[in-house]
A = this chain, B = another copy of it.
Amino acid sequence: MQYYLNGFRGGDPDVMNAAPGRRDRTPYAPLPDKVDVLIVGCGPAGLCLAAQLSQFPEIDTMIIERKPGPIEKGQADGVNTRTMEMFQAFGFAETVKRESYWVNQTTFWTPDPNNPAHIRRIGRVQDVPDDSSEMPHTLLNQARVHELFLDVARNSPARLEPDYGWALRDLTIETSTDDHPVTVTLENTGVNAGETTVVRANYVVGCDGARSNVRKAIGGDLHGDAAHQAWGVMDILANTDFPDVRQKCLVTSAEEGNVLILPREGGYLFRMYVELDKLNPDERVSNRNLTADHIIAAANRIMKPYSIDVKEVVWWSIYEIGHRLTDRFDDVPDSDRATRTPRVFTAGDACHTHSPKAGQGMNVSMQDTFNLGWKLAHVLLGRAEASLLHTYSAERWTEAKRLIETDHAWARIMSAPPGESELDGSDMPRFQKQFIENLPFTGGLAVKYDPSRLVGPPTHQELATGEEIGRRFHSAPVVRVSDAMQMQLGHVAEADGRWRIYAFAGRHDSSAPGSPIHNLTDWLANDPASPVVKYARPDEDIDGLIDLRAVFQQTFDALHYEDIPALLKPEKGKYGLQDHEKVFCVDHKGAGDIFDMRGIDRARGCMVVVRPDQYIAHVLPLDGFEELSRFFDGVLTRPAND
């Protein structure tokens, strides 16, 4: 991590220098009248967006929450590998890795054919396939994830904090103005309950959960399963003779239904999901009267011959949810797309819901706003036209739809009676096979955005077969040349709204003057058509918007750091200090060769252009100047003062 660019400052480096001119936050200070962005709801979607926008103190962001303060426990707990990669960009992946449970293996239990009243283990699957991500799949209390985002926002230049105890009641959009066109009525839910106030915003993002008022205000409905599926879920401290209690388990009993076991952070806690549809008919009808004791009793019936001795029920709930989706994630109907740009968005559960079985709800909600955050920042900072905001709904709706379809298929298989799903002719039971097939989905790694102004055509995809355009940039090991640091290339990407270009050098390129890497940096630094020249602002560092990194095939000690071109050692910040963290080479200590691992053309090298949300926008030859120029011209606008 890089810090002290603008001078030394003692203390925790995650606490950034506060920007001037922040809102008065002393007690009883009034709410602002106008903001750039109003985020509604402090769930994972809202907090991820707040953490992202708080990096830009020029943007006036407000986040409200109906509840009086942060939640303490319960709700979702699955953090997939893709989300962990995003947490890395926000700076707290290491904290999550340390505190959380890691899902290394998933085991499968079905009725013992010799004694169908008893379950027995029939298989194990490595939960994160080798090299599918450098990150683990983890499980951690949703409340803790909230806290980590809150810390990011609190420590940001904007020192952003939520306004608790305020609920959005309604909103209206005045399409005829660009000056804070959204008028929002907020209602106090705290000491002055019922009191209302009005805030005007340039943009409103409804992260207000499945009963979203924002969605209703822009005329959205959730469509999908009419029949809700009910799950009993409990987080417990308990003893058991079940040997796999510290592994993720899918347990299918012959007569008593299914259980999903999710070990949790801290080594003692675990979660059990019990599918309530499979309960005895008399229990099912009275779902609403179920208590934790019913869930415990059901779990004990399903787990026979093992038993669970519960010592503390930390949290429990009957979680009823279907797979549902709205028609669009913003306020602009298809018919108006050509004439106006969105002002109001929905994200997370507000626009799509998922069953907890695949553990997607929290992940996909955060990925929504990670997609939206940088786009809002680009538009509000004048880096892109407002039409960029159309891509949010386009990209995320398609993904939500795909996910729901996968989720659906999985739910059918999971719920099929054991006789049917268990043996499929082959050795491996059908649901284990399906589980393995689903891993890219559950890991969040199957997301692939369609070609658009933000996702280039696959013309040169063969130059980097393992970095597919439209998918997330797949990190791999490298060594940083200046200090021989072994690290993950993907970890240079911070949640800072910047684009990255990874320039992979061809075999013979050791960055001597005249080499393709030099030609690229010369063009990028000097040519009027270069996006760096065109879109950099006079008041920011040369890498303030587009951050170039290079990766060589030699080992670090075979390169001459003195020959590296200036754009790869740019002088930055108030002192013009050299940045020495732009140049990499292949790992020489056995972690793997990034060129081989990601199918990079060793002879020709290539450029991989990566969006601020870590998705691959383009793969181009090292001399693909014109295509690079054209791509960025389709996304960015010149600084207004040009």
User: Quick one: which of A8, A238, A247 has the most chain B CB within 10 A?
Assistant: A8
Could you tell me if B104 and A4 are in contact, using CB atoms closer than 8 angstroms? no
- Which residue in B73, B105, B245, B577 is a CB contact (below 8 Å) of A239? B577
A569 CB to closest chain B CB (Å) equals 9
- Tell me the complex Cα distance, A12–B240, Å: 27
Are the CB atoms of B265 and A3 closer together than 8 Å?
Answer: yes
**In the complex, which of the residues B4, B13, B105, B241 contacts A562, with contact meaning CB atoms closer than 8 Å?**
B241
> Quick one: given A8-B73, A562-B243, are A266 and B1 in contact (CB under 8 Å)?
yes
Segment touching B, from A95-103, A405-413, A435-443, A612-620: A95-103
Interface residue stretch chosen among A217-225, A319-327, A480-488, A501-509? A480-488
Chain B nearest CB from A142 CB (Å) reads 11
Q: Which listed residue, B12, B235, B239, touches A8 by the CB 8 Å rule?
A: B235
The answer to the question of A424 belonging to the interface, with a C-beta cut-off of 8 Å to chain B, is no
The stretch of A275-283, A362-370, A578-586 in contact with B is A578-586
- Interface flag for A147 (CB, 8 Å): yes
Give the distance to chain B from A605, nearest Cβ to Cβ, in Å.
23
Complex copy number for this chain: 2
Chain A 558-572 interface mask (CB, 8 Å, partner B; 1/0): 001110000000010
- Judging by beta carbons under 8 Å apart, are B483 and A102 in contact? yes
Q: Is A27 an interface residue (CB 8 A)?
A: no
Out of B143, B237, B265, B311, name the residue touching A13 (CB < 8 Å): B265
Kindly state the separation between the CA atoms of A87 and B112 in the bound complex, as whole angstroms.
48
The smallest beta-carbon distance between A79 and chain B, in angstroms, is: 16
Contacts of A5 in B (CB 8 A): 266, 268
- A537-577 with Cβ < 8 A to chain B: 557, 560-562, 571, 575-577
Restricting to A322-346, which residues have a CB under 8 Å from any CB of B? Answer: none
Task: State whether the Cβ of A469 lies closer than 8 Å to any Cβ in chain B.
Answer: no
Given A241-B562, A243-B560, A577 contacting B268 (CB threshold 8 A): yes
Given A102-B483, A239-B578, A577-B239, decide whether A268 and B314 contact each other with a Cβ distance below 8 A. no
Among B3, B243, B484, contact of A105 (Cβ-Cβ < 8 Å) = B484
**Is B2's CB under 8 angstroms from A267's CB?**
yes
Interface residues in A52-103 by Cβ distance below 8 A to B read: 72-73, 94-95, 97-99, 101-102
A373, CB-defined interface residue at 8 Å:
no
The complex places the Cα of A145 from the Cα of B398 at a distance, in Å, of 48
Contact B311 A575, beta carbon cutoff 8 Å: yes
CB of B101 within 8 A of CB of A269, answer no
Give residues 303-317 of A contacting B (CB, 8 Å): 311-312, 314-315
Chain B CB count within 10 A is highest, among A238, A263, A267, for A267
Do the beta carbons of B11 and A312 come within 8 Å of each other? no
A246 lies within 8 A of B562 (CB): no
Q: Is A10 an interface residue when CB atoms closer than 8 A count as contact?
A: yes
- Residues of B within 8 Å of A402, CB to CB, are none
Q: Contacts A267-B579, A483-B246: A99 and B1 contacting too (C-beta < 8 A)?
A: yes
Given A13-B99, A577-B311, residue A247 in contact with residue B484 (CB < 8 A): yes
A-B contact pairs, 14 of them (CB 8 A): A1-B267, A3-B267, A3-B268, A4-B266, A8-B237, A8-B269, A8-B314, A10-B144, A104-B483, A239-B571, A239-B577, A241-B562, A243-B562, A246-B580
Q: Which A residues lie at the B interface, using CB under 8 A?
A: 1-5, 7-8, 10-13, 72-73, 94-95, 97-99, 101-102, 104-105, 124, 141, 143-144, 147, 235, 237-241, 243-247, 263, 265-269, 311-312, 314-315, 482-486, 557, 560-562, 571, 575-581
Starting from the known contacts A4-B268, A102-B483, 8 additional A-B residue pairs (CB-CB under 8 Å) come to A8-B237, A10-B143, A13-B99, A238-B577, A243-B562, A246-B482, A267-B579, A267-B580
